[in-house]
Amino acid sequence: MTTGDGRPSRHVPTLEPVTTAALPTELRVRTRPIDPPAGGLLGLLPDPRGPLSWVRGGEGLVGWGEVARFTGAGAGRFADADAWWRGLLGELDVVDEVGVPGTGAVAFASLTFADRSPGSVLVVPRVIAGMRGGRAWVTEFGEPGPVTSMEPVRAGGRLRYADGALPVARYRAAVAEAVRRMRGGGLQKAALAHDLLAVADTPHDPRHLLRGLAERYPTCWAYAVDGLVGATPELLLRKRGDVVESRVLAGTIWPGSGGSEDLSADLIASVKDREEHAYAVDSLVDTLRPFCRSLDVPAEPSVLALHNVSHLSTDVRGRVRGEASLLRIAGAVHPTAAVGGTPRAEAVAAIAELEGMDRGRYAGPVGWIGADGGGELGVALRCAQLDGRTARLYAGCGIVAGSDPDSEVREAAAKLRAVREALEN
């Protein structure tokens, strides 16, 4: 099997044993410094065929082409992906002339929310470009290829919106049922989502959506992996050396949602949102603690203000004991209560039942992993899965016993604005 540029591509079928026997041997990987690109990292993406991105505030990584790919599913998908990546690294001859996080061999990652969903992927691009702290570099697998011609970025034209797998009316009913169950005891929180289809005149160009989101949400991570494109404010895990960090977001307010003109004060004072946030922080800390010799957890949340909504936010930082990789730790902490619920098993079961749809990689980990076991993984929020002329948009809300179904419907609509505005302009 070969990629679009003619190089061998390793594809592991879903749930089959992971091996590296067919991987190319003695593959040379070289990272070298370059001048910072005048048009920014996103301006380097040459065409709409499978662009890869993890960019925030102009810094991060982009990639194109494909050298190798892992696909998997099931509860063991994190461990399988980690083992596949370690096996591939053993086949590579790496020359890194820059030596900062994101240089050398890198894979872009996007894993499904639910164990039962197929489609978790690691993609190793043919070319990776990166920027950090004013330094820029390019990483190339194999011998440097010819300069790729740039295809103009294009919008998809007129959009027609249609119901997805879970229309708004059924989403409201699902929220109401979740609230009823919570008030009866047992389930404390469930993060329910719904979807919306945006059908264009011509196939969607992922770079158009990426650029629109990056411009509107510069403090979010603009990501693209295997057709899933979005801008997430939530960092599931970052690992550099033995330091691990996470940004937990839960509890939301938006202009027009009621209350005073001081949205931050209203959010901090909201009992419902503080309860929702506490569940999310506690779930992360409980699952992260076994991997860490120390953890720093702020006593009070702050407020993260974005273009369309504001969230309660808590930054957690720890020191990892042992040699646990980013993927291994992510497999333990996902899903946090921010996108799953509390108790975890009951919440995930309720999500599957009440939503009645396959989320795919929405609300799953997305980002990049490096050769040292570190990297950055966000939570795939504010996103759309692109498939030709159709974009499937997702948005969700944390539901607790004090939630109002009508308010949750409006909150989801406010969150959908992020992708809708980027697609429409």
| Three-state secondary structure string covering the chain | CECCCCCECCCCCCCCCCCCCCCCCCEEEEEEEECCCCCCCHHHCCCCCCCEEEEECCEEEEEECCCEEEEECCCCHHHHHHHHHHHHHCCEEEEECCCCCCCCCEEEEECCCCCCCCCEEEEECCEEEEEECCEEEEEEECCCCCCCCCCCCCCCCCEEEEECCCCHHHHHHHHHHHHHHHHCCCCCEEEEEEEEEEEECCCCCHHHHHHHHHHHCCCCEEEEECCEEEEECCEEEEEECCEEEEEEEEEEECCCCCCCCCHHHHHHHCHHHHHHHHHHHHHHHHHHHHHEEEEECCCCCEEEECCCCEEEEEEEEEEECCCCCHHHHHHHHCCCCCCCEECHHHHHHHHHHHHCCCCCCCCCEEEEEECCCCEEEEECCCEEEEECCEEEEEEEEEEECCCCHHHHHHHHHHHHHHHHHHHHC
Sequence-ordered list of residues with C-beta below 8 angstroms from that of 8, at least 6 positions apart, any chain: 1, 2, 22, 23, 24, 67, 68
State the burial class of residue 382 (Cβ atoms within 10 Å of its Cβ: 0-12, 13-18, 19+). Answer: buried
CA distance 41 to 59: 8
89 and 104 in contact (C-beta within 8 Å)? Answer: no
- Active centre residues (catalytic): 189, 234
